[in-house]
Structure 1
Amino acid sequence: MITLLFASCGKPDAPDNLIDESTMVNILTELQLAESEVGRLSLQSYDSAVVAFQFSKAETLKKYGVDSLAYITSYNYYGEHPREFSFIFQDVEARLKELEDQQKGGRIERKENERPTYE
């Protein structure tokens, strides 16, 4: 009985539809970029921004062949496993930094409300 109690208090097993860490890094990186892009848009309302982000999120999940239930389940699973989630977010941060460095290397001066131009 005590063994059963301790077993039920442990962290849950990985769900069948768990997104692997590498794919999760890709998805979270793209979602961070989408969130940033939506933030730069001059949308009239918060609701418009939410709709724009949700559209980007749906397109990103579709790109990786992941449905929203698998994404939410995986996000919650990794949230309950902070060590793995920390590694995922470290990889996302490194990927974003790498993308930022690549853009800085080819960026030409940009004026407000103007699309960036690259060499």
Structure 2
Amino acid sequence: MNYLLIENDKCVGVCDYEPNVGNDNIQVITYSGNIPQERLIYVDGKVADMNNYTFINGKYVKKTKAIENLLNTNDEAKHYLNDTDWLVIRHRDQLALGQTTSLTNEQYLDLLTKRQAARERVVEYGE
């Protein structure tokens, strides 16, 4: 028999004796199952391995293929936006300084269109 110490839905300790936690903000769960080596969480009243969950918008969500695809799409879109920021900044700086731009107007508009498409692919996680 083990006792799991849960704080904010995360296991912060495991004891083989019943702990006295007093008035702390720690919940004690009696658990007789196998305890994963690490990455233990407490979700929906159950002990779970964190490897099977992802943390989205302040809570743990069970990993599924759809969730993984969504996270990958978001990561790719955000990386594209981060990786192309410098092109937009350079183009605007060159225009402001009255210099010849490295991108043609057509290339710049194409870049802006692709960046907008990337923004639209990013899903903001709601409750």
Q: Please identify which structure carries the higher strand content.
A: 2
Structure showing greater Rg: 2
Task: Tell which has more relative contact order, 1 or 2 (C-alpha 8 A, sep 6+).
Answer: 1
